[in-house]
Amino acid sequence: MRQILIPILIVAAVIMTGCAYEYTEEDGYRMAVINEGFPVPKNAYEVKPEDCTTEIAKSAKYKLKGIGDEEGTPPSDYLEEIQSWGWTELEDKRVGHVHYFEKKGKIMSLIIQKNVFDVFEMSDDVEL
């Protein structure tokens, strides 16, 4: 029995490591863990977030293959989804791959990098 179990476990481990979370618009979106009104791709995997500061009230970090390129450009359909949830991009505040969005006085920051992205809920007293 043990001789059969070991190869089965090895094959299962190889199959599981081959499955990667990858960005596709078809998978849809869900609420971010730090703000129920801000969308993140449904298949994004949450990892340890950055520490909060006086400017950042809450933070979440996600891994997702294909979410951004080398320059940190997010998929256009993701930006469209954020806007369809009622968020307005503050384009004049954008700095490189850091995007800011506003909705009902709340400001969210989205930082896209290759295969990783951060979502920050900014403190209420922060001035951009």
- pLDDT in the model for residue 69: 84
**Which is more confident, 50 or 107?**
107
**Which is more confident, 52 or 65?**
65
Q: Which long-range contacts (CB under 8 A, 24 or more apart) does 103-110 make?
A: 103/37, 106/35, 106/37, 108/35, 108/38, 109/56, 110/74, 110/82
- pLDDT in the model for residue 30: 94
pTM attached to this predicted model: 0.77
Band of pLDDT at residue 79, cut at 50, 70 and 90: very high
36-40, 46-50, 60-64, 103-107, range with the lowest pLDDT: 46-50
Domain locations in the chain as residue ranges: 2-122
